Amino acid sequence: MFGLSNLKTIIKYLPSYHTNRKIVVIESDDWGSIRMPSKQVYNQLIKSGIPVNNLAFTRFDSLASESDLKALFEVLLSVKDKNGNPAKITANTIVANPDFKKIKECNYKEYYYEPFTTTLSRYPEHSKSFELWKKGMALNVFRPQFHGREHLNVTRWMKALRENKGNARYCFELAMYDLSIDPLITEDSYMDALNYENELELSFQQNAIVEGLELFKKIFGYHSSTFIAPCYIWDNELNKTLAAQKVSALQGGFFQLQPTNDNVNKFKRSFHYTGQKNKFNQNYLVRNVAFEPSISNNNEIVEAVLNKMDLLFKIHKPVIISSHRLNYIGFIDLKNREKNLELLEKLLKAILNRWPDVEFLSSDEISKLIG
């Protein structure tokens, strides 16, 4: 029935939560966080010799514009599951971004942040974006959950600004903070918000999580019951902080990356599976399918996703799909959004055609189901 490669996959999934229901969860990270500010800034960086075209996130990702959100919601609403619910995205949200103006006014001595809703108001095609967020929530296609206060290693970035290291101040003047050109952490990359090198930085992160979750509640009107760490990097010590703030589930990949303090690129890898619980009784929700067309070079990505889903359903596992925000952003490159929404629509309709009894859930809903 199964080939050798599939058997290896099955063994990896054996401990995870078992269900006869055909459940599909789409987890999408980075909503609310700044990345590339505009096409003009992108072109300026290319002319400066900085190869931001080498990494999909710096090539395509930005705050979602009004047209980005409308187009995405239209596709999600085009299908209905067995219960009459549309496809939905768990929109893992960064609730704050740096307040560049205040930071500069104090000559980089203090860090200040602003709610992402304030950041949206300054972008040229985004003033009504948050109204669309609320509409998407009401239509049951967009379910925000907590991704962090910032998608930024604040302490390392502020140190770089004070010391004028690398391209930190050059980026700052463009209202951005990261120039990653590959997955490795360099002096120009700061996306690893919960990486740390000493106990003082860990304490800063604990406070940021508390403040971030309070801001999440203020913005959305409810507590986030799940959390996904930026870059899948976080220390187990933070689980206690999250639990105290009513976070009952931790999203992620198969491996949690725990900082080791002696090297920003060196981590302890901890294996997790869906339904596993830690000492704070928090569920782990592990992504087992990737739909990342902006990142993948696979021209048959829809068929690849369907094949993986087929295997997971045969062994009675829920499907938890990773699909980052950048796949649906056209603010920098319209073709990126158009191409990927066509693929998303093709995928969703194929899912309903192949499995009419499928159910679309959000991350907090499947966590509640697991119990």
Token code pair at residue 156: 């390392």
Q: What is the pLDDT of residue 184?
A: 77
Q: What is the pLDDT of residue 307?
A: 97
All structural domains of the chain with their residue ranges = 4-35+64-105+115-151+194-370
Q: φ and ψ at 305, to 5 degrees?
A: -65, -45
Q: What is the pLDDT of residue 169?
A: 97
Q: What is the pLDDT of residue 2?
A: 58
**With 0-12 CB in 10 A as exposed, 13-18 as middle and 19+ as buried, what is 210?**
middle
Residue 105's identity, in one-letter code, is E
Residue 16's identity, in one-letter code, is S
Beta-sheet pairing, 142-148 with 89-94:
parallel
Distance CA 200, CA 179 (A): 26
Hey, is 292 helix, strand or coil? Answer: coil
Q: What is the pLDDT of residue 11?
A: 81
Give Cα 70 distance to the centre of its chain: 19
Token code pair at residue 192: 């690893």
Nearest to 229 by CA among 290, 284, 177: 284
Q: What CATH number is given for 4-35+64-105+115-151+194-370 in this structure?
A: 3.20.20.370
Q: φ and ψ at 259, to 5 degrees?
A: -60, 145
Q: φ and ψ at 96, to 5 degrees?
A: -145, 155
Token code pair at residue 187: 């002096």
How would you write 129-198 as a 3-class SS string?
A: HHHHHHHHHHCCCEEEEEEECCCCCHHHHHHHHHHCCCCHHHHHHCCCCCCCCCCCCCCCCCCCCCCCCC
Q: What is the pLDDT of residue 4?
A: 60
Contacts of 77 (CB under 8 A, 6+ apart): 86, 139, 141
Q: What is the pLDDT of residue 121?
A: 95
Q: What is the pLDDT of residue 69?
A: 98
Distance CA 53, CA 181 (A): 8
- How do the pLDDT tens digits run along the chain, 371 residues long? 555 667 777 788 889 999 999 999 999 999 999 999 999 999 999 999 999 999 999 999 999 999 999 999 999 999 999 999 999 999 999 999 999 999 999 999 999 999 999 999 999 999 999 999 999 999 999 999 999 999 999 999 999 999 999 999 999 999 999 998 777 788 899 999 999 999 999 999 999 999 999 999 999 999 999 999 999 999 999 999 999 999 999 999 999 999 998 788 899 999 999 999 999 999 999 999 999 999 998 889 999 999 999 999 999 999 999 999 999 999 999 999 999 999 999 999 999 999 999 999 999 999 999 99
CB atoms under 10 Å from CB of 276, counted, come to: 17
Give Cα 104 distance to the centre of its chain: 28
Distance CA 227, CA 364 (A): 9
